[in-house]
Structure 1
């Protein structure tokens, strides 16, 4: 009897042990997240809805932009002419565009999260407008009226032809000028008056006046780097073009030949086109093209990095966007062509050296035209432009210029 009672006690003890273990296990679950209810996906989305809304700056339309670029490329190449290399170039171009817009979106997002207004240059990237093929900015000074008139009388279309060039060919041409009295030219239709950064815009028929709140761009050789930076940022903010060109007002240009030259590179991301050079760094004060920051380029006798000569060069849309976004931190050297080249040194940019952009004047450009190799630009190296251009550019145009019908028959 006593034996049965002992066995029954062991059974009860085992049962209590099991119950205690089970109770401890259940209690442990209550104090962990294993028994917590997992929020549904829709609750998470609802909680983050406000945050996601602030982050959606330029994401919309990306897919359609890629499709538009692909369709445009196929129109140029033709379905039968499309190759794997062409497709890769087209894809690289699309990726480059998206990367630039994503970078701008990230900067805009940071501004919003900090409670700051979105910078104007970032709004430009988000809100794109009609697509132009190229913008040509003719660098000039406010006391160079005769040079501007000589350009208007030769290679630059005027009146309805200039308007037709923009509407049908997507080519915008403006003189780029700094601060000065230009009221005597207020009836013309080809002026871009720059006063530093474009916060206020006043239109003439051919003049575009840009002003900052606190400072004006003053003309002068030592200010050319600032003017060049401002020109590209300004042109990018006003015209959504594939290429942006800078040319001096004492250089002859064949517009159709320039367009055909640039069109061959339109599927490449980040291109920098010009006559590339690497001249000596001049460290002695008083000489022409003296470089005050010569010590940055090493010892005496060193040369600059490869960059396009300043008479005429072109950059793609992505590089103009880069200048626009980073214009406040881009360093300016005394020589504007060196400055532009330095801005692209650390970037994945393709430098294209094309000697058609720097032909000599007569008889060089005439011989080439007769041989069917028409020059894009002609000037005299000894004068860094056409010597006595006001008097000589008309002859250069007559003997080296393309036929007037060439531009209207061209398909870019």
Structure 2
């Protein structure tokens, strides 16, 4: 019995104490492991969330509208191609000039003849001018078969009128009925017939006439005058082949700045301190060659009109290279009031 190891009381107390103190340590270690796993899990989850958010932000950035640079904006505005477009426009202008300011082919002439016309004469008329028209048809203006024969000679004459402010009313119907019988009207469908609209009427007349007939001259005539038709045809025959001719009874005259007076010009201030109109052909009868009429047709949308139609035409011709021809035979004679002396 003496050879067996023995445990003292002190040793037993030390071992018992170690067993008691190791239990809390194990508990703490356990909770530490749990806490570490929790923190590691949160960190891993946060990393996944950051990756997801990063992908979403990248995707949104790719889908977000691109911030335009100055070069991009210039491209959008077309400025980058400006030089190329200028060259193209210059080529178009050269082509238009060679064709008499016309880029597209004219529509077929209303007359069945394929020969080139000498002139298209537009006689201004209104809804209340039925008697005047009948007087014209019985005097200098042919009617019926005689009108067709005149067209075979190369001269077209039409009464020029717009439409009523109340479209389709009795005024329009009367003109349509008269035209069915006489076939001598040029009806401007896009024009409202009114005294204050005369400057727009002259622009639309030249534009419409040049689209409907291919002629050397286009002539505007008021319906309060008589003309020597044969004398006018002779005058035009001698001018045949002359480009950019602006023919008429040339005048200038005072610009009326007082509202209420006859011939009042609302934009009088544009004509300088002397208040004098530039040189222009009297509106009673004025003649334009083909290329000038076509110029009006092409630029009609941007051409400025003034209070009077002859002033308006004169302002358009000032902007181009035109030959002014002042012919006193186209002036109103003091001997024959309301007439044009065209005797040769």
**Which interval holds the TM-score relative to the shorter structure?**
0.5 to 0.7
Paired residues for 1:308-347 under 5 Å: 308-347=281-320
Structure 2 residues without counterparts, runs of 5 or longer: 1-87, 165-170
Q: CA 1:291 to 1:255, structure 2 compared with 1: closer, same or farther past 3 Å? A: same
Residue 124 of structure 1 aligns to a residue whose secondary structure is: coil
State the partner residue of 1:352: 325
Q: CA 1:312 to 1:102, structure 2 compared with 1: closer, same or farther past 3 Å? A: closer
Q: Is the 8 A contact 2:161 2:185 kept in 1?
A: no
Q: Is the 8 A contact 1:190 1:207 kept in 2?
A: no
The CA deviation at 1:183 is: 3.1
2:222 equivalent among 217, 227, 248? 248
State the partner residue of 1:124: 106
Q: CA 1:344 to 1:103, structure 2 compared with 1: closer, same or farther past 3 Å? A: closer
The CA deviation at 1:256 is: 1.0
Normalised by the length of structure 2, the TM-score is 0.64
The CA deviation at 1:267 is: 2.6
Determine if the alignment matches structure 1 residue 166 to structure 2 residue 148: no
Q: CA 1:178 to 1:210, structure 2 compared with 1: closer, same or farther past 3 Å? A: closer
**After superposition, what is the alpha-carbon deviation per residue over 1:235-271, rounded to whole angstroms, capped at 9, x for unaligned?**
0000000000000011101111001112222232100
Residue 272 of structure 1 aligns to a residue whose secondary structure is: strand
Determine if the alignment matches structure 1 residue 183 to structure 2 residue 173: yes
Q: CA 1:360 to 1:98, structure 2 compared with 1: closer, same or farther past 3 Å? A: same
State the partner residue of 1:234: 208
Aligned residues: 244
Normalised by the length of structure 1, the TM-score is 0.54
Distance across 1 between alignment mates of 2:174 and 2:302: 36
The CA deviation at 1:152 is: 1.1
Distance across 2 between alignment mates of 1:267 and 1:209: 29
Distance across 2 between alignment mates of 1:331 and 1:224: 13
Residue 146 of structure 2 aligns to a residue whose secondary structure is: helix
Structure 1 residues without counterparts, runs of 5 or longer: 1-54, 60-95, 106-121, 192-203, 366-379, 381-385, 387-395, 407-412
Q: Is the 8 A contact 2:100 2:294 kept in 1?
A: no
State the partner residue of 1:99: 97
